[in-house]
Amino acid sequence: MDLKELEGIISGILDKAGQEIEGVREGARLEEWKVRYLGRKGEINRIFSLMPGLSDGLKREAGRMMNDLKSRLSLMYEEKENDSVESSGSVNLSFPGKPASYGHLHPISLTIREMSEIFKRLGFGVEAGPEIETSYYNFEALNIPDGHPARDAWDTFYINEKEKILLRPHTSPVQIRMMEKNRPPLRVVSVGKCFRRDAVDATHSPVFHQMEGFMVDRNINFAHLKGVLTYFINRMFGDGIRVKFNPSYFPFTEPSAELSMTCIICRGKGCSTCKNSGYIEVLGCGMIHPQVFRNVGYDPEKYSGFAFGMGIERMAIIKLGITDIRYFYQNDMKFINQFS
Ligand code: DAH
């Protein structure tokens, strides 16, 4: 073999090694490349093994060329390792990264936002009240005196029964706080956590959320109540949904009603969800009781108003087609990520 021939072999190896390393994208591949060229049975050692077959006159120059090839290949390896491969050899820093997950709102928060937006469009303000309440705001001011049988409807957790401090079982006390602090005209919704001594099952949770709303002004009547709530239901669930108001009883409203809407599952045809009635009950409402107005210092001869209260979980269950309230609190990402 003469030097020309050796030169040809060497430049062939350099070209091939250069092309191959170009396409390397991960540490493991780079290590394979290194073994192929610089390893014990690699190309470099194969070239060196040609040495004994060369004439003495060529050995010096051939040795220089081979060492040069070895340092060029080593340099290629180091450069590649530095610019794209972490030293562990397993991560390619030149790859685009995985996008970070920023998280998203919980389906209950999404439902609260959607409901609040609808009421904001009608000019309602959104307020919050305390989760720890006094018995006065929670019961007495709402025309539910001590010993009144209706109290049983709100199975309440007491923090201190003697001092009458409790975890609010509904958001209605916010009505009282808002009316005490402001003068009519008033249009307010308030949203938040409520607590009841309920055993957990598919439709009950001891912690849940409610939205309360009310409107007070001169000459507010039942038609205003129907108009506002029908608008809300149609924006929330669609224009084709019909609403029905059935007589009901709440101590803080007179008259009181229960609003039912077309069953969203069967669209009114009748199914197991609506117990074949075609309608599902979604909220309580009514005209604010004169005694409630007196309790906050409003003249019931001068002012009138309506109020309503509903469960957020119930709204979300209907809207999102969820079958069990417990899903909301289990933090199962497979569930939660469906509602981003
Ligand atoms: N507070 C009631 C409950 O928890 C819901 C309710 C009914 C609120 C009628 C109201 C209303 O403001 O007018 O069951």
Q: Are residues 161 and 272 in the same domain?
A: yes
Q: How many domains does the chain have?
A: 2
Query: 199 alpha carbon to ligand 1 midpoint, in Å?
Result: 21
Query: 309 alpha carbon to ligand 1 midpoint, in Å?
Result: 4
- What is the spatial distance between Cα 3 and Cα 90, in angstroms, rounded to a whole number? 40
Query: 90 alpha carbon to ligand 1 midpoint, in Å?
Result: 61
| pLDDT score of 23 more than 90 | no
- What is the spatial distance between Cα 340 and Cα 338, in angstroms, rounded to a whole number? 6
Q: Are residues 34 and 162 in the same domain?
A: no
The boundaries of the domain holding residue 38 are 3-90
| pLDDT score of 339 more than 70 | yes
- pLDDT bucket at 88, cuts 50 / 70 / 90: low
Position 91 scores a pLDDT of: 67
Q: Which residues line ligand 1 (CB under 6 A)?
A: 170, 172, 212, 250, 253, 284-286, 307-309
- Given the CA of residue 153, which atom of ligand 1 is nearest to it? 14
Mean pLDDT score, 185-214? 96
Q: Are residues 229 and 332 in the same domain?
A: yes
Ligand 1 atom 8 nearest Cα: 309
Q: Are residues 51 and 13 in the same domain?
A: yes
Q: Are residues 72 and 113 in the same domain?
A: no
Query: 166 alpha carbon to ligand 1 midpoint, in Å?
Result: 18
Domain boundary among the residues 65, 90, 115 is at: 90
Query: 256 alpha carbon to ligand 1 midpoint, in Å?
Result: 9
For residue range 291-301, what is the model confidence (pLDDT) as tens digits?
Answer: 999 999 999 99
For residue range 297-317, what is the model confidence (pLDDT) as tens digits?
Answer: 999 999 999 999 999 999 999
Q: Are residues 139 and 280 in the same domain?
A: yes
Q: Are residues 148 and 241 in the same domain?
A: yes
Q: Are residues 245 and 320 in the same domain?
A: yes
Mean pLDDT score, 255-261? 98
- Given the CA of residue 172, which atom of ligand 1 is nearest to it? 1
Query: 284 alpha carbon to ligand 1 midpoint, in Å?
Result: 5
Domain boundary among the residues 90, 116, 136 is at: 90
Q: What is the CA radius of gyration of the chain?
A: 38
Domain contains 281? yes
Out of 152, 250, 283, mutate this one to test ligand 1's pocket (max ligand atoms within 8 Å of CB): namely: 250
The amino acid present at 163, given as its one-letter code, is E
Q: Are residues 128 and 233 in the same domain?
A: yes
Pair 168, 138: CB distance under 8 Å: yes
Q: Tell me, letter by letter, the H, E, C secondary structure of 123-188.
A: CCEEECCCCEEEHHHHCHHHCCCCCCHHHHHCCCCEEECCCCEEECCCCCHHHHHHHHHCCCCEEE
- Given the CA of residue 252, which atom of ligand 1 is nearest to it? 13
- pLDDT bucket at 26, cuts 50 / 70 / 90: confident
Q: Are residues 260 and 321 in the same domain?
A: yes
Domain contains 23? yes
Q: Are residues 139 and 60 in the same domain?
A: no
Domain boundary among the residues 61, 90, 119 is at: 90
Domain contains 217? yes
Q: Are residues 64 and 202 in the same domain?
A: no
